[in-house]
Amino acid sequence: MINPQRFTPGGCPDSVLCASFGLSLYATIENARRKLKNLAKSIAKRGYNTIGTHIAEGVIDRNDGVISPIGSDGHFTLHESTNADLAAKFVVVHRVI
């Protein structure tokens, strides 16, 4: 379960709070797999319900929302626009558990 402190004022810095409401994505499937491998121990403790059970692949564009810069680990955050239809753009390609 996600810690409610992530979503309360004062629970974390504003930039982190804002990112907490976004969708975490990775630039490549390999970036996503690498991150999951690095998280394996903590995932076992917290459970997959906090990060999901599958990896999906798709292409997004600026019309889908506000996209953060891509980090050195390939991670970026998408804050979806109200018109975004991500289900139509993504397909599951890998089951994590």
In a domain, 5, yes or no: no
Residues forming beta bridges with residue 81, ordered by sequence position: none
Supply the pLDDT for residue 48. Answer: 60
Domain count, the chain: 1
In a domain, 58, yes or no: yes
Could you report the per-residue pLDDT of 12-70, keeping only the tens digit for each?
566 655 777 788 899 999 999 888 888 776 766 666 666 777 899 999 999 999 999 99
Does residue 89 contact residue 53 with C-beta atoms inside 8 Å?
no
- For 73, the domain range is 22-95
3-class DSSP state of 36: helix
Q: How far is residue 11's CA from residue 95's CA, in Å, rounded to a whole number?
A: 32
In a domain, 9, yes or no: no
In a domain, 8, yes or no: no
In a domain, 32, yes or no: yes
